[in-house]
Structure 1
Amino acid sequence: MIFRQLFDPVSSTYTYLLGDSGEAVLIDPVYEQVPRDQALLRELGLWLLTTLDTHVHADHVTGAWRMRLRCGSEIALAAVVEATGVTRPLGHGDRIDFGTRHLSVRATPGHTNGCLTYVLDDQSMAFTGDSLLIRGCGRTDFQQGSPQQLFASVREQILSLPDDCLLYPAHDYRGITVTSVTEERRFNPRLGGGVDVGDFAGYMNNLNLPHPKQMAVAVPANMRCGQPEGSAEVATETPDWAPLTLRFSGVWEIEPMALLERGAAFQIVDVREAPEFIDRLGHLPGAKLVPLSQLTGRLEELDRERPVVAVCRSGVRSAQASVLLTKAGFGKVANLAGGMLRWRTEGLPVASDSV
């Protein structure tokens, strides 16, 4: 089974990708991170069947609708929420299949009335949303929350799992990535040890926390499964100046044939060292040699209004050059996929004149 834990630094949200036999599910996707997640799915050769939200989030907008628009994936959320756009309403005991594996659905209300926990078939992993955080739990003072209900949910549905079951929350604000049933039973200050429901309710009812900053935007959007008002996909990151592919690293790449067809419109910057520029691989016709070590000191030699394609031997150094150029304010930057090695393998024209 393929498992990846992804992180959104703005909302401190964890998104989880699980894949098997070419099929995948994605738990708690974030709207702005959809291009990243789609790139990872493509690179791992996975077909996204379903996005699963653990609850209606108040601190970020889900990527469920956006992933459905791009991948055709089902949108799964607790049926009790009655959100618009859900294609697979879930209840306690339901099963979500992917490849030869599956997740079981456990209703764990209390943080919100629609919280779900997803448990892997062998009970080695569980994805708890905000119902149980690492040494903590979600608040209970809005979205039909209830400390009594959350206490029962966590004790009966999560901490009843096997001792070595790994627990993965929807958030962590300290950089901690995983915990276990044993740890939370022993060390969770709100829900572990000898804490009873009276202790827990007294604690939760006196948190006096401000509402999440994005709540007024996030909750209405998530009641539409992340669909923007007016049904238009907004803030898409896909460039329109060339046919590009986003890699999981965050770098946009252009295929050799696409560059050959459109090369006259681009600035081609070769970031190898001078001897490599005229070695047996040669270089692209019209390419400008700017070694990576000199790039940040020679930015004034480049036209910020024209697209830039970075090139090197294999695509590794030029990927770093793409990052540097983007950080320097160049708006249209791509990396040549596979570098000069792939360019030559595909039999495309090269030059070998001196620097």
Structure 2
Amino acid sequence: MIRRRPPAEMAAAHRDGPVAAAQPHVPVLLDEVVESLNLDGGLAVDGTFGAGGYTRALLAADPALQVIAIDRDPQAIANGQALVAEAGGRLRLVSGRFGDLDALLDEAGEAKADRVVLDIGVSSMQLDAPERGFSFRNDGPLDMRMGKDGPSAADIVNEADETVLADIIYHYGEERRSRAVARTIHEARRRGRIETTAQLAELVASVVWAEPGSHIHPATRTFQGLRIAVNDELGELVRALHAAERVLAPGGRLAVVTFHSLEDRIVKQFFAARSGRSAQGSRHLPGGQAETIRSFRLVTKGPVLPGEAEIARNPRARSAKLRAGERTESETPEPLAALHALASLPEAARGGHRR
């Protein structure tokens, strides 16, 4: 189990050194992530660089560590150049999807990594930028693309079949009134395209009502579902877990921070199957092997949650969960088909946009 050090001690561990300046984005469970990785030199991969919070902490915690950080957002890569300069040759920033981290590592001339950390979901920088269209707090274009490529949220809202839209909002947003939301959107777009976050939030709020005493906006779940669909977030997570499994050297560690049940369910089942705590993975092995290949040993016996003090400092931390595992010397098993199923919409919704 992870030993929790006193907050003052943990803070001091990350204040020291030239790479410990304050960040606009507050990384969640930072101290617990660093501790779970058990740093000891070598190469670490930060698959979700964002504002560089985890990368900065890794560099500060272990002066012998080299870091490759990945992000699909061009703005994050551009903003990270100052940290590259501060790190004195210890940090390489790579543009790409973290689901491709093994291929990106190969392109960087690295065969194996000793540590991998993944912070799943949208960053505060993206949420707080109205022009990115991730949030309804400020009106902006209905975009939501992390990489600024491919179909936007507006494309899905205006072009997807009503049933596909309902499935996206239900399965990825966990919105119980998804059919009513999809029907309302379908009727509204007949009068003209829905182009802004305010337009969509108003439509959703007309058929989804906030629960008594809740501070959650009625459109929250719909926006989550669309964001996940636009960026294929769950599919990326599944690919990243398997990619990390392939690149980690024996004794290397993987730490994953999630923010909602869909993400955590995938990470939990991955570690359960790969550590032998679940038989789910056995039927997906080649040749019908009965035994499970134990490619990971659990570092966290259950999810590590933020403490009350962290939640008070950063309310966005309240739903975070950390799970971590250590790579064994076993061969790399076949990918888990069950995880891909968890990340996918039902068959009827896989057609994507309306033709």
TM bin (shorter chain): under 0.3
Highest relative contact order (Cα 8 Å, sep 6+), 1 or 2? 2
TM (norm. structure 1) is 0.24
Task: Report which of the two structures shows the higher radius of gyration computed on alpha carbons.
Answer: 1
TM (norm. structure 2) is 0.24
User: Which structure carries more strand by proportion?
Assistant: 1
User: Which structure carries more helix by proportion?
Assistant: 2
